[in-house]
Structure 1
Amino acid sequence: MQTFLKHLCGSVLVLISAAAGAGPAETHLEARKQWHQSIQAAYQALEQRADAYAEAAGDYCSVPNDGARREAEQAWQQAFLAWQQVRFVDFGPVEHNNLAWQFQFWPDPKNLIARKASYILKSDDLISRDLIGLSGVAVQGFPMAEYLLFDEDLNNGDNALPATRTCSLLTAVAHHIAANSSQLNRDWAGFRDHYIGTDQYRDTTVRAGMTALEILEERRLAQPMGLRGTGKRSAYAADAWRSGTSLKTMEATVRGLEAHYLPGLAVLLKEAGEQQLADRIDAQFDEVLQNFPQLHAPIIELLSEDERFRELQAFYMDIAQLNTLVNDRAAVALGVVRGFNSSDGD
């Protein structure tokens, strides 16, 4: 995946060079062309990873064994990380039918995912793709699949995988994710002309990255660390805590922003006479990513051990600096007003 992103960033330089010397309107058009192309590549990767996960889940439930279980878990993680890469896109086709929420129902302070799973597993209803489609966003996405694969209480009880109904739920959810990924990829391709031809998507796309960084700092990091909300450290406030991949998902989000958001933003900043700021933001992305792979650990470990918590604090400070550069400095330079955060789960 990282090699693919490097090649993609290389192709983006061609578009950046083409924008050099152009007027504002032409530069904005080039930025939107670049963004659409790059996001399309991310959605294609999501579709491929989701298909692989659905296949792996089906293989495991057909012939359950430890090796197939590990492959299903790894395929889930790869598909989920592919979603994190493009999670920042909060407009366009992903808004249809609450697709973003279908992919990832979060935050879940009332543990609705576990309650929904318990209800379905105890009921007499036939578990099918139709049932998943009618059961609401808490059932339909990656967090439900994570619960079935990784929740300790579930997997130490009577419904532990590969129990028949649990496997049926796992595979039905996996196929729902795959179908949504395919639909999203097709719809984004069909969205191209409207997106590229509509000036307002310049600000909409800039704002999407701003929101993603704000959520990353305030909701995905500060709240579990006890810097917001109750003031107490809590791994359960993070996403993907059951699988121990909270920090991997954050890394994937940052890498996705670096690959699919930053190049277009850099085009706009250069046109606005802010090349130095664009370079600072680029360098800060690198600074953030230098925290990995040391932070590839379950967030509960990072929160409970003082030495590891200091590593998490350093990561938080790097994210906060990146957030400031984009949400304050770049937004002001481009005249983009921060909008309502529709991704907030409150």
Structure 2
Amino acid sequence: MRPLTKAVGIAALILVPIAGMAANQTETNRNATQQWHQGILAGYQSLAAEAGDLSVAAVDYCSAPEQAARETLEQAWLDTFLAWQRVRYVDFGPVENDNLAWQFQFWPDPKNLIARKASYLLNSEDPISGEVIAESGVAVQGFPMLEYLLYDEPLNASDNALPAEKTCGLLRAVAGHIETNSQQLRDQWQTFRKDYLATEQYRDTTIRAGMAALEILEDRRLAQPMGLRGNGKRSVYAADAWRSGRSLKTMEATIHGLEQSFLPGLTQLLKESEQPQLGPRIENQFKDVLEHFPELHRPMTELLSNDDAFSLLQGFYVDVSQLTTLINDQAAVELGVIRGFNSSDGD
């Protein structure tokens, strides 16, 4: 019996470290998801607060359309849009309900549906209301529609330019729709906490969301306008927020959002991995990417048309590419995360 007893003892000694490692991994995953949930919640709370200010600014401007009110409205639109950019990477959970992400930002828009939808609504004899906006589709319901009303040059040279009564009706209704959706998203994310923290797969889902956001930023928001993808021609119309000239501001906000609410959980996981040095390397690469600002706070048109300015954009692209490689090809592999299908790919 002694050999059997000895074998059982050895097995017990082996199992204790394995059980301890599993417990440590579970605790690490729990800490990471708690950080992610809290960071994303803070982002959604900021979005809801800014959206409330935007809705008020739209009403105030249409009531008294003076220059100061117009400037307040434009700043409120930008502040709220950038708040959205900081949480734009979250492509799972409540934001999937009712195509909320698309309601906030219909992009890309290669067929210029936003302009066509606006023209239809503004030239229709039917009044514009919140109910009409809710039924009009995602091209009408979000930040790009407000950007169109504020910054589209042909519109602003027409009889429908703000503060025309019908256009103000559309402005107020869309701003109100964004406010409602922002509050809903904030509240639903809070309710989602229990399932998010209790479901192991959300660890990988969150990492994939960060990965997808970086791929979209590199390939579609940067490379495509720069002519590095597709037909090889530079085109401002491939960028988001091109009408307002804020394409680079939105990219900066996305990077800031990833740094603030995604990176802490990722580095928490990497600390306990076999490559703990990856965490500091990624943190430093985020800093390298953001060091390109504020010099890149310029309209995309200027950056694409001037070779000296374009070189600045190229440097930013290289640093974004390096960040994408560190997270998608190294950190994700180290953590055993395989890139999944991204619904925003459109294929």
Q: Do they superpose with TM above 0.5?
A: yes
Kindly report which structure 2 residues correspond to 1:222-237, keeping only aligned pairs within 5 A, or say none: 222-237=223-238
State the Cα distance separating 1:152 from its structure 2 match.
Answer: 0.6
Task: Confirm or deny: 8 A CA contact 1:107 1:345 kept in the other structure.
Answer: no
Kindly report which structure 2 residues correspond to 1:18-37, keeping only aligned pairs within 5 A, or say none: 23-37=24-38
One-letter code aligned to 1:237: A
Kindly report which structure 2 residues correspond to 1:287-298, keeping only aligned pairs within 5 A, or say none: 287-298=288-299
State the Cα distance separating 1:345 from its structure 2 match.
Answer: 4.4
Kindly report which structure 2 residues correspond to 1:261-340, keeping only aligned pairs within 5 A, or say none: 261-340=262-341
- Name the CA distance, whole Å, in 2 between partners of 1:253 and 1:75: 18
Could you tell me which runs of 5 or more consecutive residues in structure 2 were left unpaired when the two chains were aligned.
Answer: 1-21
Specify the alignment match of 1:69 in structure 2: 70
Specify the alignment match of 1:8 in structure 2: none
- Name the CA distance, whole Å, in 1 between partners of 2:248 and 2:231: 21
- Number of aligned positions between the proteins: 327
Could you tell me which runs of 5 or more consecutive residues in structure 1 were left unpaired when the two chains were aligned.
Answer: 1-20
Specify the alignment match of 1:12 in structure 2: none
For the residue of structure 1 that corresponds to 2:298, the secondary structure is: coil
- Name the CA distance, whole Å, in 1 between partners of 2:300 and 2:23: 46
Specify the alignment match of 2:164 in structure 1: 163
- Name the CA distance, whole Å, in 1 between partners of 2:344 and 2:29: 25
Specify the alignment match of 1:11 in structure 2: none
Kindly report which structure 2 residues correspond to 1:11-22, keeping only aligned pairs within 5 A, or say none: none
Note if 1:154 corresponds to 2:170: no
Specify the alignment match of 1:108 in structure 2: 109
Specify the alignment match of 1:144 in structure 2: 145
One-letter code aligned to 1:300: T
Specify the alignment match of 2:126 in structure 1: 125
Identity, % of aligned pairs? Answer: 66
State the Cα distance separating 1:158 from its structure 2 match.
Answer: 1.0
- Name the CA distance, whole Å, in 2 between partners of 1:104 and 1:88: 12
Deviation per residue, 1:161-191 (Å, 9 max, x gap) = 0000000000100000000000000000000
Specify the alignment match of 2:13 in structure 1: none
State the Cα distance separating 1:344 from its structure 2 match.
Answer: 2.2
Note if 1:259 corresponds to 2:260: yes
- Name the CA distance, whole Å, in 2 between partners of 1:208 and 1:106: 17
| Bigger Rg over Cα | 2
One-letter code aligned to 1:268: L
One-letter code aligned to 1:171: R
CA RMSD, Structure 1 to Structure 2 (Å): 1.2
- Name the CA distance, whole Å, in 1 between partners of 2:156 and 2:230: 31
Specify the alignment match of 2:202 in structure 1: 201
Kindly report which structure 2 residues correspond to 1:4-15, keeping only aligned pairs within 5 A, or say none: none
For the residue of structure 1 that corresponds to 2:98, the secondary structure is: helix
Note if 1:191 corresponds to 2:189: no
**1:307–1:284 Cα change, 3 Å:** same
Task: Confirm or deny: 8 A CA contact 1:106 1:345 kept in the other structure.
Answer: no
